[in-house]
Amino acid sequence: MFEFLRSYIIYLALLSGTVGLIYLHKLPSNKAKFLLLLIWFSVLTEFVGYYFTQWTGLLNYYVYNFYMFVTFVAYILLLRSLLQKISNRISAVLFLILFIVSFFLNILYFKKDINHSFTYSFAIGVILVMLLSCLYLIEIFNSDKILNFKKSVFFWYVLGILVFHVPVLPFMLAINWFLIKQDESIFSLVLFILNCLAHGCFIIGFVWSEKKYNY
């Protein structure tokens, strides 16, 4: 019933990416522009993922596993750059190493046929990003940035990441661990709603943020 929604996710990314281009003047630093690059990377991934099976005859897990690897590495590096405390930045580096190792262990686990969803690497990535995001928010709330945190595009981007990944994680694990039959209709609906919330946060960040808080 809702299977068609899965193919509309690309339009949400296109919308937030276009809004980001319109408000590009508010993104003065390379770090801020990097957020926009990640959104357009997701647009490219959705496009390639949609046609991958048609082009190659293979399932599109290759595309989305590669996307997961790149985006989680990018998220961790982004959060590291936002963190101020040395101990938190060191934790981010260790988390990055842990995620990369988990990803390649996942490849070894599926070495006969790696065209599977890397659910364990996804779970580890979500947990690590969630922990770093909490450290980032704690730093904000314990500093003078608390007065203007809503005017930073980084805050809204991190919120968008959390809004999408934290709810989707138990859903993915339930399918994988408890052998719940994956209903494509429900799966598409959940992904579409969470993408709406995430890209909504991105759009608010682009529109509401102020240039001086986006360095």
pLDDT in tens, 167-197: 998 887 776 666 555 567 788 888 999 999 9
Confidence of residue 58 (pLDDT cuts 50, 70, 90): confident
Q: State phi, psi for 178 to the nearest 5 degrees.
A: -100, 10
> Phi and psi at residue 146, in whole multiples of 5°?
-60, -25
Question: Are the CB atoms for 120 and 102 separated by under 8 Å?
Answer: yes
Contact 80/132 with Cβ under 8 angstroms? yes
Nearest alpha-carbon partner for 162 in 188, 189, 136: 136
Half-sphere exposure of 48 (CA within 13 A, CB side): 14
Distance of CA 165 to CAs 25, 100, 122, 124, 172, Å? 29, 18, 9, 11, 10
The three-state DSSP-derived secondary structure of 185-211 is: HHHHHHHHHHHHHHHHHHHHHHHHCCH
The amino acid at 42: S
Q: 181 or 23, which is more confident?
A: 23
User: Taking 80 as the threshold, does the pLDDT of residue 57 lie above it?
Assistant: no
Higher pLDDT, 49 or 27: 27
Q: Give the other-Cβ count within 10 Å of 207's Cβ.
A: 14
Q: Where are the alpha helices (DSSP H) in 110-183?
A: 119-141, 153-177
99-116: average pLDDT? 80
Name the residue with higher pLDDT: 78 or 7: 78
Q: Are 203 and 14 in contact (CB under 8 A)?
A: no
Q: What's residue 170's pLDDT?
A: 86
pLDDT of residue 40: 98
